């Protein structure tokens, strides 16, 4: 994994500090640079090695910002950032995770109350101090107090889009060592959970101390927490990485065990006991002859716990399987269960009955139905986004810039006249663009508080190939149920897809409250697709709601909401989120070919 995301986060921190100091221009410049650094296809540290001019080749990164990037990569900071931190010594990232608290609010509360941390903010809200600050009131104070808990929890877990690339890089680093037989991602990252507390990896080797030292010596490691023959823990880019080293003959059993979830493993253990067997991180054992008297399932931990003594009875019985996961499940009379399903939601019963879903694969997707360009808030032209879709291998792509209306960033939304003009531009482009990709024209309209998409006229909606309706405003700020609003949107005669239905931003903004069963039933009846927004900040619908949609027969659309060509690659997060909801290719609208998509839209 490159350091692009790390550098982008620092530029964003500096932008927040500038905004707090009432700088009107530079915050947006730095945020644009941060977005482009994050999306840049090459590693920013490789550009730094070439010099500032190479860094300045990134769109939106001028000479001054390029110098800052070079300084940060080489020294860990830059002078202007440290000066801004000295002027406003606050935990900006943590404080701005509280909904409604932006950089300028942070500055006001620091000046008035000395608020520096989440603890300070919570204490000020609990003591009734915030309402006494000019410009604040009791309602704002209450909202802040309620938002602190969410922000605190969010700060303890990192986004999958940050942890998965790091985990893959750790595995690649381990596999390069001659003492490592094989390595793999484990834990909740392997199950593709949307957030993760740490990065779990597993390696097979007879030289555990050498492998641990190899990880601890990695140039990207910031701190070494502990090292040992079987376990090494380090911190990389602020994330804790936990490495387990096992012998190769037991790798499959260990991978199954350390992938979890806890609940899945407990149910699997009970399934094994019913057969006179035992399953743990060392293998599957037949214990009908050798089990100690009185041993029961209650003797085993419900957690994925440390086992310090490998000879404490964990290997009692005749070994049936351990080397591969397939063999572990097979020894228990089950087919291999994909990691995304291992949440104890009926997957073991389904495996026993031969009823596991034939899960959607990434290559099943044929196109992307939610793409933005520089006609609204995207950063690239229609041609650039279309050609990038063709290069990515899509059969079709739908341009869906924002319509005007509340909740749209800045003044970037398109009017009816703009949409008519864009339709002509897309028609002209389709005549000379790569014939292997079909270009559709759509719009992303805002779903208002009443479920209406009235910012776009009905005659324009009727002429578009596809209409996405997404909630962008009034996102359940009062905590009320939003089911009626979303149901009204899916029942709108011109709406084809309900975009990011909950409106959540993971670790930033909680999901709106709605009845998933009622929404998916309405979508199934109306023939409206429910989006799994693949942007790893959203992953909306989440897996549990996808499962409800699949069970109800409501179609799913997996879209990236791409604002740049690089974001097409985020489809992988959407696919695995849908897999967590047991989705098959037949459940997904954009797994159809172009003719099948047209048939649905018509």
Q: State the Cα–Cα distance between residues 213 and 576, nearest whole angstrom.
A: 33
pLDDT of residue 302: 32
* Mean pLDDT to the nearest integer, 483-494: 96
pLDDT digits over 231-271, tens only? 999 999 888 999 999 999 999 999 999 999 999 999 999 99
Q: What is the pLDDT of residues 15-47, one digit of tens each?
A: 999 999 999 889 989 988 888 888 777 788 889
Question: What DSSP character marks residue 226?
Answer: E
Q: What are phi and psi of 457, to 5 degrees?
A: -70, 155
CA nearest to 475, candidates 445, 512, 509: 512
Indicate whether 306 pLDDT > 50: no
**Residue 476 confidence class, pLDDT cut points 50, 70, 90:** low
Percent of the chain at pLDDT exceeding 90? 75
Which residue segments constitute the domains of the chain, with CATH numbers given? Answer: 4-155 (1.10.150.110), 158-246 (3.30.460.10), 250-352 (3.30.210.10), 362-601 (3.20.20.140)
Confidence label for 104 from pLDDT (cuts 50, 70 and 90): very high
325-363 pLDDT, tens digit each:
999 999 999 999 999 999 999 999 999 999 999 999 999
Residue 448 CA to residue 401 CA, distance in Å, equals: 17
CA distance 159 to 539: 10
Q: Which pLDDT score is estimated for 312?
A: 53
pLDDT at residue 210 in the model:
97
| Residue 88 or residue 302, greater confidence | 88
Residues 6 or more apart from 484 whose CB is under 8 A from it?
451
Q: Which of 102-111, 291-300, 492-501 has the lowest mean pLDDT?
A: 291-300
- Indicate the pLDDT class of residue 408, thresholds 50, 70 and 90: low
With 60 as the cut, is the pLDDT of residue 307 above it?
no
Q: Is the pLDDT of residue 304 over 60?
A: no
Q: Rounded to the nearest 5 degrees, what angle is found at the Cα of 47, between the Cα atoms of 46 and 53?
A: 160
Q: What is the pLDDT of residues 428-462, one digit of tens each?
A: 887 777 668 999 999 999 998 888 887 899 999 99
User: In this predicted structure, what is the pLDDT of residue 296?
Assistant: 40
Report the candidate in 161, 243, 169, 159 with the shortest Cα–Cα distance to residue 2: 169
Summarize the confidence of residues 392-421 as an average pLDDT.
87
Query: pLDDT, tens digit, for every residue of 510-526?
Result: 888 899 999 999 999 99
């Amino acid at each position: 994994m490159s350091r692009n995301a790390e550098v982008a986060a620092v530029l964003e921190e500096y932008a927040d500090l500038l905004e707090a100091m009432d700088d009107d221009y530079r915050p947006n410049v730095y945020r644009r640079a941060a977005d482009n650094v994050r999306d840049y296809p090459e590693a920013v540290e490789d550009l730094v090695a070439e010099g500032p001019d190479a860094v300045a080749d990134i769109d939106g990164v001028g000479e001054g910002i390029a110098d800052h990037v070079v300084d940060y990569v080489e020294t860990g900071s830059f002078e202007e950032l440290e000066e801004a931190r000295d002027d406003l010594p606050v935990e900006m990232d943590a404080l701005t995770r509280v909904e409604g608290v932006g950089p300028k609010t942070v500055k006001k509360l620091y000046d008035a109350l000395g608020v520096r941390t989440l603890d300070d903010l919570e204490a000020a809200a609990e003591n009734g101090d915030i309402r006494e600050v000019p410009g604040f009131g009791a309602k704002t104070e209450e909202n802040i107090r309620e938002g602190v808990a969410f922000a605190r929890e969010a700060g303890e877990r990192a986004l999958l889009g940050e942890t998965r690339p790091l985990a893959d890089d750790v595995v690649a680093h381990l596999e390069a060592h001659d003492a490592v037989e094989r390595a793999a991602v484990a834990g909740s990252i392997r199950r593709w959970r949307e957030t993760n507390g740490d990065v779990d990896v597993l390696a097979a080797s007879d030289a555990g101390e050498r492998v641990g030292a190899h990880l601890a010596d990695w140039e990207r490691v910031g701190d070494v927490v502990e090292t040992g023959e079987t376990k090494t823990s380090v911190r990389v880019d602020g994330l804790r990485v936990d490495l387990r080293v096992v012998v190769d003959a037991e790798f499959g059993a260990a991978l199954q065990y350390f992938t979890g979830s806890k609940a899945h493993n407990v149910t699997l253990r009970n399934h094994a006991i019913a057969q006179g067997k035992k399953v743990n991180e060392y293998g599957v054992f037949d214990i009908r002859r050798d089990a100690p008297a009185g041993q029961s399932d209650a003797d085993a931990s419900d957690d994925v716990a440390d086992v310090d003594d490998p000879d404490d009875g964990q290997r009692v019985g005749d070994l049936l399987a351990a080397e591969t996961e397939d063999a572990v499940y097979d020894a228990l009379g089950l087919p291999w269960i994909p990691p995304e399903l291992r949440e104890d939601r009926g997957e073991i019963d389904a495996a026993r009955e031969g009823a596991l879903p034939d899960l959607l694969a990434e290559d099943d997707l044929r196109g992307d139905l939610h793409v933005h360009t520089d006609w609204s808030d995207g950063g690239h032209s229609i041609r650039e986004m279309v050609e990038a879709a063709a290069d990515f291998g899509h059969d079709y792509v739908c341009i869906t810039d924002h319509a005007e209306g509340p909740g749209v960033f800045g003044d970037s939304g398109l009017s009816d006249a703009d949409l008519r003009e864009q339709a002509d531009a897309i028609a002209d482009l389709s005549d000379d663009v790569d014939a292997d990709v079909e270009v559709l024209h759509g719009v992303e309209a805002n779903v208002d508080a009443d479920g209406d998409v009235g910012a776009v006229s009905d005659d324009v909606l009727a002429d578009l190939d596809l209409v996405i309706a997404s909630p962008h405003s009034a996102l359940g700020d009062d905590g009320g149920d939003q089911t009626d609003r979303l149901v009204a949107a899916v029942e709108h005669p011109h709406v084809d897809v309900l975009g990011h239905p909950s409106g959540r931003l993971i670790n930033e903004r909680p999901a709106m409250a709605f009845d998933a069963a009622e929404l998916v039933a309405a979508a199934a009846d109306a023939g409206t697709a429910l989006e799994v927004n693949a942007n790893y900040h959203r992953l909306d619908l989440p897996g549990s709601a996808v499962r409800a949609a699949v069970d109800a027969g409501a179609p799913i659309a997996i879209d990236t909401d791409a604002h740049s060509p690089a974001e097409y690659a985020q489809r992988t997060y959407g696919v695995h989120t849908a897999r967590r909801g047991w989705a098959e290719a037949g459940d997904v609208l954009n797994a159809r070919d172009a003719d099948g998509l047209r048939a649905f839209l018509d």
